Amino acid sequence: MNVKVLSYNIHKGRAFFSRKKIWGAIDELVHLVQPDIVFLQEFLQNNDSAQLLEKFADTLWPHCSLGQNATSIQGHEYGNAILSKYPFSKTSNSNISTNSMESRGLLYGKVMVEDKYPLHLFCTHLDLTANGRYKQIKIIQELIDKEAKKNEKLILAGDFNDWNLEIHKKIKEEMKLEEVFERLKGILVPTSPSILPILALDRIYYRGIKPVQALRVFDKKFRFLSDHLPLVAEIDVA
């Protein structure tokens, strides 16, 4: 049973260079990829995003979990989001902030794929500081252990800001998770800056499932939206 997932830091719904709203382009991207589950970081909750979620709810993604991590200057909440074709049986948002300058969270949701395969979903966006990321990975490991048993299937996706790959080593060695692109292509694929990606900041980790395909969306139409590139993976949850 294959499930397609998309992970994307959408830069609060505005293009990184022009600052134009990109909600329409995000809509186009999601409908083009047709993922079953969508992990979004820097999701700004405003009228534009509410209209987009309403449109998604009428098509393939009727189930949505939002996690507030911070409040923008305009007073809008923003953080992580998980959109799903499958209904959530449980959701929660945990504060994993380590300093007063960066508000971070771990958004969790549990779904049942085709009423047969339980799947734990975790979406996050880690600190810019190495010390903060070390602390956050420990917190994330504790939260994952709390929600998902060792033999249960899970996906941990998001923007890890791990430019030196130190956190990656800990996730593999201590959390016993694998990364989709590394497994299928032998490398962590660069996603930032989107115009000329050299840093592999965005990842899709997994446990208990089989990666089938992995794609970095580098199409010109979508390359100049966020400062990150979207990642797409197809996994076998059976």
Its domain, for residue 29, covers: 2-236
Q: What are φ and ψ of residue 80, in 5° steps?
A: -105, 160
Q: Over the stretch 184-224, which tens digit does the pLDDT of each residue have?
A: 999 999 999 999 999 999 999 999 999 999 999 998 888 88
Count Cα neighbours of 41 within 13 Å in the Cβ-side half-sphere. Answer: 29
Whole-angstrom distance, CA of residue 205 vs CA of residue 215: 14
pLDDT at 76: 63
What whole-number distance in Å separates Cα of residue 144 and Cα of residue 152? 11
Question: 159-171 pLDDT, tens per residue?
Answer: 999 999 999 999 9
Which pLDDT tens digit goes with each residue over 130-159?
A: 999 999 999 999 999 999 999 999 999 999
Tokens representing 193 are: 């800056």
The pLDDT, as a whole number, for residue 70 is 63
Q: How many domains does the chain have?
A: 1
CA angle 68, 148, 201 (to 5 degrees): 55
**Beta strand pairing call for 154-159 and 117-125:** parallel
User: What CATH number is associated with residue 140?
Assistant: 3.60.10.10
Q: What is the pLDDT of residue 75?
A: 61
- Residue-level pLDDT at 72: 54
**Would you report the helix, strand and coil content of the chain in percent, each value rounded to 5?**
25, 40, 35
In the predicted structure, residue 95 carries a pLDDT above the cut 60: yes
Evaluate the omega torsion of the peptide bond into residue 118 and state whether it is cis, within 30 degrees of 0: no
pLDDT digits (tens, 9 = 90+) for 30-81: 999 999 999 999 999 999 989 999 999 998 999 999 998 766 556 667 799 9
Tokens of 6: 């998309």
Q: How far apart are CA 114 and CA 141, in angstroms?
A: 27
Distance CA 24, CA 145 (A): 37
Whether the Cβ atoms of residue 103 and residue 139 lie closer than 8 Å to each other: no
* pLDDT tens digits, 112-131: 999 999 999 999 999 999 99
Which pairing describes strands 37-45 and 2-9: parallel, antiparallel, or unpaired? parallel
pLDDT, one tens digit per residue, over 2-40 is 999 999 999 998 987 767 899 999 999 999 999 999 999
pLDDT at 19: 79
